[in-house]
Amino acid sequence: MTISKGDKLPDVTLVKATENGPEKVQSGEYFAGKKVALFSVPGAFTPTCSVKHLPGFVEKAAELKAKGVDEIVGTAVNDAFVLGAWNKASGSSDITMLADGNGDFAEALGLTMDGSGFGMGKRSQRYSMIVNDGVVEELNVEAPGDFKVSSAEHMLGQL
């Protein structure tokens, strides 16, 4: 079943990419008590993800925070080392990367896709959501191959 507006996020282990290396976090605790702009991509360093998705959140970070967002989080079915390198290369200190290396978070959300045709295996769909105290307030899931509703610009209009 796919997560919906009004649902609480599932509690799974994610790995935060930090300056000191990977740090395990529980999603239930991590998203509690704050408003988070969460976006997910099929893979770090992939074309749309690197050219449009992440840069949009970097560019709009101050505007998102001015509208009440406490933290901007990016996730993908990649390991914390890859997400940390991607954030260092294309992101900013305004973005927190949470690795979903085994796809447990994407699967618990019901938002997986099969990227086997591209040699990528099971991945997360492209989406964004506004999460307030662990509850989904807005959910924007892209159609395959699209990049419209999961953008930072679209999210700004929802805040």
HEC assignment per residue over 34-57: CEEEEEEECCCCCHHHHHHHHHHH
pLDDT tens string 7-56: 999 999 999 988 888 999 999 999 999 999 999 998 777 666 556 778 88
Sign of CA pseudo-dihedral 83, 131, 53, 148: positive
Domain-wise residue ranges, the chain: 13-158
Tokens of 36: 């988070």
Q: What is the mean pLDDT of the chain?
A: 89
The alpha carbons of the chain give a radius of gyration, in whole angstroms, of: 14
Of 36, 49, 95, 99, the catalytic one is 49
Cα–Cα distance for residue pair 35/50, rounded to 1 Å: 24
User: pTM for this one?
Assistant: 0.92
Cα–Cα distance for residue pair 115/124, rounded to 1 Å: 9
Pairing label, strands 21-26, 112-114:
unpaired
Inform me whether the pLDDT recorded for 123 exceeds 80: no
- The residue behind tokens 């690197």 is 50
Q: What is the side-by-side order of every strand in the sheet holding 35-41? A: 21-26, 13-18, 95-99, 71-76, 35-41, 127-132, 135-141
Q: Is 130 a catalytic residue?
A: no
What proportion of the chain, given as a percentage, has pLDDT over 70? 90
Domain 13-158 of CATH type 3.40.30.10: yes
Let me know if 140 is exposed, middle or buried by CB neighbors in 10 A (0-12, 13-18, 19+). Answer: middle
Contact 12, 105 (CB under 8 A): yes
